[in-house]
Amino acid sequence: MTRARGRKVPVTQNIIELSLKSMFMRIDQLMKTVPEGCNLDKNPQYDHTIKDVWSIEEEWIVDKDFRRRMSHIHIDDD
């Protein structure tokens, strides 16, 4: 075990925290490649990237309602 914030923290918790940080960094990198307001129907590359991000979020955030609130993806149906 290691110490963090004055208490003992299991090694597995540290690994989970590192994994979550890495996952969110990857999502941020992917989202930076998709221009805001782009038409996903006309840009298959961007559509593929959004689907990749959605898959990552779906894997890590199991609760659908919480995932919808926390998602990096916000699509307008205009």
Three-state DSSP at 10 gives: coil
pLDDT at position 75 is 79
pLDDT at position 2 is 53
The neighbour count for residue 27, using CB atoms within 10 Å, is 19
Specify the amino acid at residue 70: M
Task: Write the pLDDT tens digit of every residue in 22-71.
Answer: 999 999 999 999 999 899 999 999 999 999 999 999 998 889 999 989 89
Both tokens of 44, joined, read: 């298959």
pLDDT at position 47 is 95
DSSP 8-state assignment for residue 35: -
